[in-house]
């Protein structure tokens, strides 16, 4: 785990704050312009007609999927994906050693972002709106775009980058998974967060994975979720981080990335 911790701290060294959706999108576009290995593809449009670009890196057969801003203001993952793409462009050896192709949707849900995606003030979800990840039976256009990318890439692991950042409240983090992960991996997650001074929530408490873990299948609506589709190909792991008092934004980004890298390494070694 120490190696991943070291890697993530290096990957986020230039992060000074968590960025709003428009900044994440413009930085992805900038990186693509100057890197032939980064491929941009329009995967669809939002309900309001905003384009949804996806970026990929690599020609490997096995794919990994990350998507940001699935709900309003859930911003930690957007900046985390940027750090990941920058590391790929810098020829990062640890990432190359995984032998996977990387797919990123920087902003899955542009319509519902506060201030048109230009800032990150506190926001709560509008209960009248369907959540993009929870409406497979009556999909929003964002959901359809995501499902198509899932079905073409068949990701061995997926990281729907939901978080509790949108509330701007300090909420102990918890981890939501689409399959029961081995306790040793869960303990690595816990130890990784502890390195940043972050203590996981005591609740929920999963019988096998322990405190701070919840299985997506505990939701009766699970069959109506994109998580159930991704689970056909590989696990999804969501780390619900929030603004935590005394924790630097850079370290939240690092913690989010480390959870993904620990998961990915486990998936690859498990194959």
Handedness of CA 56, 52, 43, 137 (dihedral sign): positive
Which of residues 71 and 231 has its CB atom nearest to Zn ion in the complex? 71
Which of residues 32 and 71 has its CB atom nearest to Zn ion in the complex? 71
**Stretch binding Zn ion (CB under 5 A), from 36-44, 156-164, 199-207, 214-222:** 156-164
Is-contact 236 177, C-beta < 8 A?
A: yes
Report in angstroms how near the CB of residue 131 gets to Zn ion at its nearest.
7
Report in angstroms how near the CB of residue 99 gets to Zn ion at its nearest.
30
7 three-class SS: helix
Report in angstroms how near the CB of residue 9 gets to Zn ion at its nearest.
26
Which of residues 23 and 71 has its CB atom nearest to Zn ion in the complex? 71
Which of residues 149 and 161 has its CB atom nearest to Zn ion in the complex? 161
Tell me which residues in 190-249 interact with Zn ion (CB under 5 A). none
> DSSP for 139-193?
--HHHHHHHHHHHHH--SEEEE---SGGGTS----EEEESSPPPHHHHHHHHHHH
Residue 83: HSE in the Cβ half-sphere, 13 Å Cα cutoff:
29
Which of residues 57 and 165 has its CB atom nearest to Zn ion in the complex? 165
Is-contact 230 65, C-beta < 8 A?
A: yes
Backbone phi, then psi, for 22, in 5-degree steps?
A: -65, -40
CA–CA distance, 145 with 143 (Å, rounded to integer): 5
DSSP annotation of 20 reads P
Which of residues 23 and 112 has its CB atom nearest to Zn ion in the complex? 112
Report in angstroms how near the CB of residue 139 gets to Zn ion at its nearest.
17
Q: Euclidean distance between the first and final Cα of the chain, in Å?
A: 19
Tell me which residues in 68-87 interact with Zn ion (CB under 5 A). 71
237 three-class SS: strand
162 near Zn ion, judged by CB under 5 A? yes
Report in angstroms how near the CB of residue 160 gets to Zn ion at its nearest.
8
Which of residues 32 and 164 has its CB atom nearest to Zn ion in the complex? 164
Binding pattern for the stretch 106-145 against Zn ion, x by CB under 5 A and - elsewhere: ----------------------------------------
CA–CA distance, 128 with 255 (Å, rounded to integer): 32
Report in angstroms how near the CB of residue 1 gets to Zn ion at its nearest.
27
Report in angstroms how near the CB of residue 69 gets to Zn ion at its nearest.
9
Footprint of Zn ion on this chain (CB under 5 A)?
71, 162
């Amino acid at each position: 785990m120490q190696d991943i911790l070291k890697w993530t701290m290096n990957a986020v060294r230039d992060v000074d704050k968590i960025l709003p959706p428009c900044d994440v999108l413009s930085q992805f576009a900038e990186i693509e312009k100057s890197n032939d290995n980064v491929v941009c593809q329009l995967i669809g449009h939002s309900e309001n007609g905003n384009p949804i670009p996806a970026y990929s890196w690599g020609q490997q057969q096995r794919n990994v999927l990350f998507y940001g801003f699935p709900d309003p203001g859930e911003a930690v993952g957007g900046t985390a994906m940027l750090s990941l793409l920058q590391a790929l462009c810098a020829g990062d050896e640890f990432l190359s050693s995984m032998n996977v192709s990387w797919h990123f949707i920087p902003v899955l849900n542009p319509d519902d972002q506060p201030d048109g995606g230009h800032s990150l003030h506190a926001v709560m979800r509008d209960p009248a709106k369907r959540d993009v990840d929870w409406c497979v039976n009556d999909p929003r256009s964002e959901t359809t775009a995501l499902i198509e990318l899932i079905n073409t890439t068949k990701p061995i692991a997926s990281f729907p980058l939901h978080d509790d950042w949108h509330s701007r409240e300090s909420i102990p983090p918890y981890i939501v998974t689409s399959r029961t992960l081995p306790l040793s991996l869960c303990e690595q997650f816990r130890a990784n967060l502890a390195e940043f001074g972050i203590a996981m929530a005591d609740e929920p408490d999963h019988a096998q994975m322990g405190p701070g873990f919840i299985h997506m299948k505990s939701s009766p609506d699970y069959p109506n979720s994109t998580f159930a589709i991704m689970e056909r190909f590989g696990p999804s792991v969501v780390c619900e981080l929030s603004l935590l008092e005394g924790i630097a934004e850079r370290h939240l980004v690092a913690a989010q990335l480390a959870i993904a890298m620990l998961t990915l390494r486990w998936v690859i070694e498990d194959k």
